[in-house]
A and B are shown apart, each in its own frame.
Chain A
C-alpha cells in the first residue's frame, strides 16, 4: 500500500482570470511559494502543469529533507500540495505556454485560459535531459525510461542499464536494485559524482555494477530494448539489456518565459542571487534558477523567499493590485 494521494486532476475549465500572484510550477518551489503567499492572504493560483509535485514526486526515497527521515517522494509532495490548498491557494492543472508583460502586470497564457497578475513566480523546475542517442526516442516506454519510481516494477528479474553518475542516477539505480536481476551503471568518468553515502551504497550492492569511463552510443531492439552499445576504454561493447534508465541531468523548463526575463546560456532564469529576475514583479524559485544546489530544501526555501518578495513588491506597488 503506498498511501492515497488526495486531490483532483484537471479541473473543469474556467478558472482563469486575475489573481494577486500567479505561480507557474507545482513542485516544491511553487508549492512552498503558494503556501507562504496564501498565508500572506494574497489570492494565489498555482499552474501545476502535468506533473503534480514536480520532480520530488518522481523519487522513491528522500533521505536529506530535514525532519522527515526516509520520506517517500510522492508523499512529501502531496503533503506540500495539501498544505498549500489548506492555506487557501488554488492549484490548477494548466500548463503555461507563454507569459507576457502587459499594462496590468503579467498575462500568462496556458492550455486552459489566460491568468493575469501583478506578480509572477516562475517555478517550472527542470525536466530530464535526453541523451539523443539512436533508439532512445523510439524505445521510450518500451524499455527506455526517465522515471524509475514509475516503471521499476516492470523490470522485476530483468537487466537494466542506468546512465549517469550523479545523485539521481545512483539513487534510482539503488531503487531499481530492489526489482531488477542486475543493474549496470554506465558513467563517463572514473568516479561517481553522487554524494559519498549513496556512492558507497551502490558500490557495495551485489546487484549493481559500474562500467567506468564509458558512454552509451545506441539502444537497440525491435519492439522493446534488447541490447545497448557502449563505448568503453577497451573499445565498443554490446550488452544484452531489457531496460535503460537515463539520468544525465536536467534542463530548465523556461521556454514560456523567453523574452520576459533574462535566461542564461543553459536556459535557467538569471537571478540576482536570490529570487529577483531581470524584470520587476517576476520572481524565480527552485530548479529553474541557476542555483548550484538543486534540491527539495533549496527549492522550498526559494519558494518562501519568492512569496515574501512578492508580498513586499505588492506593498510597494499598491496600484498593481
Chain B
C-alpha cells in the first residue's frame, strides 16, 4: 500500500510543481541493524515519483563507505537534502509524521530561489565568526517540532558556516541520551547551547547571538534563560 494517500500525493505534487531547480536527495541506508531504513527508502521512493526535479540517490552505508565518510554520515538512515551545492542539511531517522512536513518544506526551499529567512536572522548569519552545528531532536508526533527543525535547516541553507541535523529522537536513543533529550523539540548547538521548544527565527538568532560568547567556558548554556533575562533589562533600559 502506498504511504502517501492520493490526496496527499496530489498536494505534494502541487507543492513541488512550484520548484524551479533540481533538488538533490542522498539517502544512506543499510540492510543490517537498521529497523527503519526500509521505511525511509519507501518514503523517498514515493516522494521521488511526485516530481522530476528530485534527484534521488540511495547509497549503502556499508558498501559505499567512502561516500559516507566524505559526507560525514554517522547514523542510518541519513538523508541529505540540498540544491546540489552543499550537504549541510540532513535528517537522521525516518521522516514520518510531522517530520514529513519538515522534509517537504526543506525540499521546496531547496528547489525555489530566494531567501527564506527574515533580516534579523540573515544579519546574524552574516556576522557569524564560527561554525555552527545545530542539532534538532524531534519526534514524528510533535506538532511544534517542524518549526524548530525548519528554522535550523533554513539557517544551514543560508550560511556555509551552519550545518543542521534533524534527529528522530526515538530512533537514536544513544544520541538522545548523550544530549539529554527528555522533551521535543530540543535544539542543541555546538554540543552546549540548548533550547527547549520552538522559537520564532528572529528570537532564535538573537538567542544564539547571546549564547555564543559564553561557549568559551565549556559549560552548557540555556538559551531560554538567556532570552528571558536580558530582554527585561533591555526593555527597561530602553525606556
Interface residue? A7 (CB, 8 A): yes
Q: A12-B114, A150-B144 are in contact. Are A4 and B4 (CB under 8 A)?
A: yes
**Cross-chain contact A5 with B98 (CB below 8 angstroms):** yes
Interface residue? A149 (CB, 8 A): yes
Q: A9-B102, A85-B11, A243-B182 are in contact. Are A2 and B141 (CB under 8 A)?
A: yes
A95-118 with Cβ < 8 A to chain B: 95, 111-112
For the complex, give the distance between the alpha carbons of A2 and B116 in Å. 29
For B141, the closest partner residue in chain A by CB is: A149
Q: How many residues of B contact A (CB 8 A)?
A: 51
For the complex, give the distance between the alpha carbons of A6 and B47 in Å. 11
**Cross-chain contact A7 with B104 (CB below 8 angstroms):** yes
Q: A51-B144, A150-B142, A151-B182 are in contact. Are A2 and B170 (CB under 8 A)?
A: no
Q: Enumerate chain A residues within 8 angstroms of B182, measured Cβ to Cβ.
A: 141-143, 145, 151, 154-155, 224, 243
Q: Enumerate chain A residues within 8 angstroms of B104, measured Cβ to Cβ.
A: 6-8
For the complex, give the distance between the alpha carbons of A10 and B97 in Å. 17
Q: A140-B183, A150-B141 are in contact. Are A3 and B97 (CB under 8 A)?
A: yes
**Cross-chain contact B143 with A52 (CB below 8 angstroms):** yes
Closest CB-CB distance, A3 to chain B, in whole Å? Answer: 7
Q: A9-B101, A74-B97, A142-B183 are in contact. Are A4 and B43 (CB under 8 A)?
A: yes
**Cross-chain contact A82 with B147 (CB below 8 angstroms):** no
Q: Enumerate chain B residues within 8 angstroms of A140, measured Cβ to Cβ.
A: 183, 196-197, 224
Query: Contacting B12 at CB < 8 Å: which of A6, A9, A243?
Result: A6
For the complex, give the distance between the alpha carbons of A77 and B141 in Å. 12
Other A-B pairs beyond A7-B104, A141-B183, A143-B183, 11, CB < 8 Å? A6-B8, A6-B11, A8-B101, A9-B149, A10-B150, A10-B151, A53-B143, A57-B143, A74-B143, A140-B197, A145-B183
Q: Give 1 or 0 for each of A77-95: 1 = CB within 8 Å of chain B CB.
A: 1000010011000000101
**Cross-chain contact B200 with A4 (CB below 8 angstroms):** no
For the complex, give the distance between the alpha carbons of A85 and B14 in Å. 11
17 CB contacts below 8 A, A to B, read: A4-B4, A5-B101, A8-B108, A9-B102, A9-B149, A10-B150, A10-B154, A12-B116, A13-B118, A52-B98, A82-B11, A95-B200, A142-B180, A144-B183, A145-B183, A147-B183, A154-B176
- A residues contacting B by CB (< 8 A) are 1-10, 12-13, 50-53, 57-58, 60, 74, 77, 82, 85-86, 93, 95, 111-112, 140-145, 147, 149-151, 153-155, 223-224, 243
**Cross-chain contact A82 with B7 (CB below 8 angstroms):** yes
**Cross-chain contact B183 with A1 (CB below 8 angstroms):** no
For the complex, give the distance between the alpha carbons of A150 and B8 in Å. 23
For the complex, give the distance between the alpha carbons of A153 and B180 in Å. 13
Query: Contacting A10 at CB < 8 Å: which of B8, B39, B147?
Result: B147
Query: Contacting A4 at CB < 8 Å: which of B97, B145, B147?
Result: B97
Q: Enumerate chain B residues within 8 angstroms of A4, measured Cβ to Cβ.
A: 3-4, 8, 43, 96-97, 100
Interface centre among A77, A141, A151, A224 (most CB of B within 10 A): A141
For the complex, give the distance between the alpha carbons of A52 and B144 in Å. 8
For A6, the closest partner residue in chain B by CB is: B8
Closest CB-CB distance, A248 to chain B, in whole Å? Answer: 18
For the complex, give the distance between the alpha carbons of A149 and B143 in Å. 10
Query: Contacting A2 at CB < 8 Å: which of B96, B105, B181?
Result: B96
**Cross-chain contact A50 with B183 (CB below 8 angstroms):** no
For the complex, give the distance between the alpha carbons of A86 and B202 in Å. 32
**Cross-chain contact A9 with B176 (CB below 8 angstroms):** no
For the complex, give the distance between the alpha carbons of A8 and B149 in Å. 12
B88-129 with Cβ < 8 A to chain A: 96-98, 100-102, 104-105, 108, 112, 114-116, 118
Interface residue? B186 (CB, 8 A): yes
Query: Contacting A93 at CB < 8 Å: which of B114, B118, B147, B170?
Result: B147
Closest CB-CB distance, A9 to chain B, in whole Å? Answer: 4
For B109, the closest partner residue in chain A by CB is: A12
Interface residue? B169 (CB, 8 A): yes
For the complex, give the distance between the alpha carbons of A10 and B154 in Å. 10
For the complex, give the distance between the alpha carbons of A225 and B29 in Å. 36
**Cross-chain contact A82 with B197 (CB below 8 angstroms):** no
Interface residue? B140 (CB, 8 A): yes
5 smallest beta-carbon distances between A and B, as pairs: A141-B196, A150-B142, A141-B183, A4-B100, A6-B8
Q: Enumerate chain A residues within 8 angstroms of B146, measured Cβ to Cβ.
A: 9, 52
Query: Contacting A8 at CB < 8 Å: which of B105, B118, B200?
Result: B105
